[in-house]
A and B are shown apart, each in its own frame.
Chain A
Amino acid sequence: MAADPTAWSLVEVADAIVRKEVSCLEVTQACLARAETHQPTLNCFISLEADEARRQAMDADAALARGDVRGPLHGVPLAHKDLLYRAGKVVTCGSRILGDFVADRTATVLERLSAAGAVNLGALNMAEIALGASGRNEHFGHCRNPWNPDHVTGGSSSGSAAAVAGRIAYGAIGTDTGGSIRLPATMCGLVGIKPTQTRTSRHGVMPLSYSLDNVGPLTRTVADCARMLGVIAGVDPNDPTCSSEPVPDYEKSLDGAGARGVRIGVPTSYYYDHTTEAVRSALEASLQVFKSLGAEIVEVEIPDHDLIRELFGTLMRAEAANIHAKWFAERPGDYSTEVRARIEAGLYMPATRYLESMRLRPGLMDEFCEMVFGKADVFHAPGLAIAVPTLEETDAAVSDDALLINERLAWCTRAANYLGLPSLAVPCGFADRGLPVGFQLMGRPFAEEFLFQVGHAYQRETDWHQRAPAL
């Protein structure tokens, strides 16, 4: 392994800490040094909590000296999107609206990371109120892509992706309502999972859309992602929507059967409508890797995704507008024009339409599972169809194409949220302008363990996940 511990993966550093090859404080200091060096360029933190992180690392070292390994993340520096509550701390949600909001409780997900021994580096930048596929933020400044700071990170979990890709944190928590984990993961060359709806607790997480929000990790490798999801997933008495389905040991089966014999479904419509040649080529190459591993590639038809996009839009706008209605009326100037414009229609949506969009959901999930998983075991699609845009290209004030680009960013990701299905983003190369490209693997509900196996098999054969940006 490299001498610099920030070059190691989460699993590698966690194992090295337990073997006492490196101390928690050494690792944390290395991460903090990178954070301080690169924050001016990447702007990934809203609140970097260096002193608190050092204190946690020293506690972790003291515990280890007593023979007390707290859990599978003992001493590992992580960070989280600034919409997860910590009792007594300000949680901005990347917004001016919540700029002075002090949480009265701690998110279950953060409590579980802490119980597993993680060190918290601080709260990360994000798109305002978690709405925005580019990750732009007018209030806290835009986050920048570590592979090229002229480009967006993707959003809304922009800081989560920048911190992990920038080798500042080993993993970060994000949320995904329409692609907000998978898009920044894809654009920054990372792994990220939107779990099955109800798989992870949303207690203590600022909502955007109750029916579509999911909490999940962004990491450098599939194995890292499996470890983090294994820690945070599972029933939570504080979140009545959280599933009681047992959580498998995701890591245990990673090196099992791999991709041999797995039927990989490739869509015959919609997902490739706007792909660039370079993205398409990288996606096809990833399928060739799966074929070489013994997988079978099968074409699958899918339900009407234009309809799913409209139903997603109805549902998300109605729920998000309802959450923000009071502030829209009282403090309209505290929202960026772009954010208001995206959800304001929800204020005037008839209740019948909202309910119809909810009632159509189970039937479309049935239809998708029958059409896709009747023929395939996993569904393979682009994580992002277009080239990773620059910050300027996504700025509606200067770019005529900004609205179209912003719409196309989440073209491939929203359906998984509406359908409630798990989706794992995996990097598969570099495409237009040298920026990362990735695919997503979708499965039946609660197929996370299987998705990790297939994604991990791909990463054993490729090295895209081992490449780091030259910051």
Chain B
Amino acid sequence: MAKQGEGFSGADVKKMAAEWHGIELSDARAAGLAGELNGLNAATRSAARRLPYDTDPAAFTSALTRLKHKGRT
């Protein structure tokens, strides 16, 4: 298994696939998925550091209304 801070290893993904979803993955596929996950994880985690703790995902819908087009400037 991957050590803390190293992200997912192929073995981690293979185990999750089998235990969570009943899916059997080859070693190569699991390693590929681990690489993909680690990239997405790192980018999202890093960006999320800027978030105030109480940002509600539902703020998206209210932002659509708040930022809406109000005619020609």
Contact = CB atoms under 8 A, between A and B. Distances in A.
Interface of A: 196-198, 241, 243, 245, 257, 261-263, 307, 310-311, 313-314, 317, 325, 328-329, 332, 344-345, 347-350, 353, 355-363, 365-366, 369, 377, 420, 443-447, 449-450
A325 B21 contact: yes
Contacts of B13: 348
Given A328-B21, A359-B51, A366-B63, A348 B44 contact: no
B44 A310 contact: yes
B33 A369 contact: no
Given A198-B64, A348-B8, A446-B69, A358 B21 contact: no
B55 A359 contact: yes
B4 interface: no
Given A332-B23, A356-B48, A360-B51, A345 B72 contact: no
B19 to A, nearest CB: 11
A329 B44 contact: no
Nearest to A449: B69
B65 A245 contact: yes
Contacts of B2: none
A344 B20 CA distance: 13
Interface string B3-31: 00000100001001100111100000000
A307 B33 contact: no
Contacts of A196: 64
Nearest to A328: B23
Contact of B68 (A262, A332, A356, A444): A444
Given A311-B43, A359-B56, A369-B67, A377 B73 contact: yes
A362 B59 contact: yes
A329 B21 contact: yes
By size class, the interface of chain B is: 35 or more
A371 to B, nearest CB: 12
B72 A356 contact: no
A348 B60 contact: no
Nearest to B37: A345
A418 to B, nearest CB: 10
A450 B63 CA distance: 19
B51 A356 contact: yes
**Interface of A (DSSP majority class):** helix
B69 A344 contact: no
A362 to B, nearest CB: 4
A313 B47 CA distance: 14
B28 to A, nearest CB: 12
9 contacts: A197-B64, A328-B21, A348-B13, A348-B17, A349-B40, A349-B41, A353-B44, A366-B67, A446-B69
Contacts of A332: 23
Nearest to B41: A353
A317 B71 CA distance: 36
A358 B57 contact: yes
A445 B51 contact: no
A317 B22 CA distance: 19
Residue of B59, B69, B72 ringed by the most chain A CB atoms within 10 A: B69
A310 B40 contact: yes
B73 to A, nearest CB: 6
Contacts of A360: 44, 47-48, 50-51
A344 B26 CA distance: 13
A353 B33 CA distance: 16
A359 B21 CA distance: 27
Contacts of B33: 344-345, 348
A197 B63 CA distance: 11
Contacts of B39: 310
Nearest to B40: A314
Nearest to B51: A359
B72 A362 contact: no
A356 B45 contact: yes
